[in-house]
Amino acid sequence: MLKIYVKASDLLASLRSDKRGVVSFEYVIVAAAIITAVGLAFSGTGIGGALTTAVSTVVTKLTTAMGGTGS
């Protein structure tokens, strides 16, 4: 039982110090900002509509994958 506790404690400690998830989330935020800027630049054209649809689809799928409701 003690071995399981030690392994669980070590695993939790490593998760707290792991920063890889934070960095990948920052990349998602930067990508969303770039997509938004490009979408605004091309708004009113077919490209703007396509980008809006693509971003909405990605946001919906991410929300669903993360178990959220979107609101």
Show the tokens assigned to 32.
């969303």
Over its C-alpha atoms, the chain yields an Rg (Å, rounded) of: 19
Task: Please indicate, yes or no, whether the overall pTM of this predicted structure exceeds 0.85.
Answer: no
- The pLDDT score that the predictor gives to residue 52 is 79
Query: Dihedral angle at the C-alpha atoms of 16, 19, 24, 26, nearest 10 degrees?
Result: 100
At 19, the pLDDT band (50, 70, 90 cuts) reads low
Show the tokens assigned to 38.
């490009």
Show the tokens assigned to 66.
């993360």
Averaged pLDDT, 42-59: 77
At 18, the pLDDT band (50, 70, 90 cuts) reads low
Rounded-to-integer distance, Cα 56 and Cα 70, Å: 11
- The pLDDT score that the predictor gives to residue 16 is 66
